[in-house]
Amino acid sequence: MNSSIQQEGIGMTSLRTRERLVQRLIDQGIQQIAVLEAIRTTPRHLFIEEALAHRAYEDVSLPIGFDQTISQPYIVARMTEIVLSALAKGGSLEKANVLELGTGCGYQTTILAQLVKRVYSIERISALLQKTKERLSQLGINNIQLKCADGRYGWPQHAPFDAIITTAAAPSIPKALVEQLAEGGVIVIPVGNSQRQELQVCRKLNGKVEVESVEPVVFVPLLEGVVR
Ligand code: SAH
């Protein structure tokens, strides 16, 4: 990542504030050093509106416009940890291709991009994606490919994916995602409605699919179609 941009605004959002966030994640059970390090060095204040930048290193979700939110750091860390564990087990961490649905402001995308080979990310709101594209190129991240589409259909041209991560809640795991998942791969996805959601982990082993429920979560819904 471009280090001068990474340090931008460092006064207001000092290293100490970031360390406090990392300590909080450790207290909540996040263990992987690589994940904690990515959270520590990623300038979250550059992913939200300036008026909210002073809250960037609190462990909360925050509005990013377009009725959407940046995810809570804890949940970003948790989902990333699940993906990395699965990739490490499959021995494919360095060469892993990951698909993300729900780019939003690109924070989760940026964390993942520092840890795997390539991230493909899909967002349905075109204007939001445009802003995010500019942000990610300013940050100097170049192993990410973005597109505006309805992510429920995946991205067949780049399949199979070693991991698929969804940052919006689906009523059930979309079939296309299971089809586009590599053997031994993992899907991490919030499943449920506006009342109740749980984080599910879906593994494909010997062609069979196993689903495990991890913990209750709160995400915006995975919606149909695109907004141009
Ligand atoms: N990943 C973000 C959080 C994004 S919030 C972060 O790091 O903070 C969820 C995003 O999913 C929103 O931007 C929303 O527009 C998008 N989304 C919802 N339904 C979608 C769909 N079907 N396809 C692609 N993106 C979708």
Q: Which of 71, 92, 126, 137 is catalytic?
A: 71
**Neighbour-count burial of 8, counting CB atoms closer than 10 A to its CB (0-12 exposed, 13-18 middle, 19+ buried):** middle
Q: Is residue 149 part of a domain?
A: yes
Query: Do β-strands 68-70 and 62-65 pair in parallel, antiparallel, or remain unpaired?
Result: antiparallel
Query: Which of 220, 162, 158, 147 shows the shortest CA–CA distance to 190?
Result: 220
Which ligand 1 atom sits closest to the C-alpha of 47?
A: 8
Cα(191) to centroid of ligand 1, in Å? 14
Q: Are 185 and 126 in contact (CB under 8 A)?
A: no
d(CA 163, CA 177): 10
**What's the pLDDT score for residue 89?**
87
pLDDT digit string (tens) for the chain, length 228 residues: 665 555 555 555 678 899 999 999 999 999 999 999 999 999 999 999 989 999 999 999 999 999 999 999 999 999 999 999 999 988 878 899 999 999 999 999 999 999 999 999 999 999 999 999 999 999 999 999 999 999 999 999 999 999 999 999 999 999 999 999 999 999 999 999 999 999 999 999 998 999 999 999 999 999 999 999
**What's the pLDDT score for residue 14?**
78
Q: Is residue 188 part of a domain?
A: yes
Regarding the beta carbon of 98 and ligand 1, being less than 6 Å apart is answered no
Residue 140 maps to which CATH number? 3.40.50.150
Q: Is residue 17 part of a domain?
A: no
Q: Is residue 33 part of a domain?
A: no
Q: Is residue 24 part of a domain?
A: no
**What's the pLDDT score for residue 7?**
54
Q: Is residue 178 part of a domain?
A: yes
Q: Are 59 and 80 in contact (CB under 8 A)?
A: no
Q: Is residue 152 part of a domain?
A: yes
Regarding the beta carbon of 39 and ligand 1, being less than 6 Å apart is answered no
Q: Is 92 an active-site residue? A: no
Which ligand 1 atom sits closest to the C-alpha of 223?
A: 19
Q: Is residue 31 part of a domain?
A: no
Sequence-ordered list of residues with C-beta below 8 angstroms from that of 56, at least 6 positions apart, any chain? 13, 44, 45, 47, 48, 62
**What's the pLDDT score for residue 100?**
98
Name the residue range of residue 166's domain: 63-216
Nearest CA to ligand 1 atom 14: 102
d(CA 172, CA 131): 29
DSSP labels for 81-94? HHHHHHHHHTT-ST
Per the structure, the count of domains in the chain is 1
Q: Are 112 and 100 in contact (CB under 8 A)?
A: yes
Q: At CA 110, angle to CA 107 and CA 113, rounded to 5?
A: 150
Regarding the beta carbon of 152 and ligand 1, being less than 6 Å apart is answered yes
Nearest CA to ligand 1 atom 8: 70
**What's the pLDDT score for residue 12?**
52
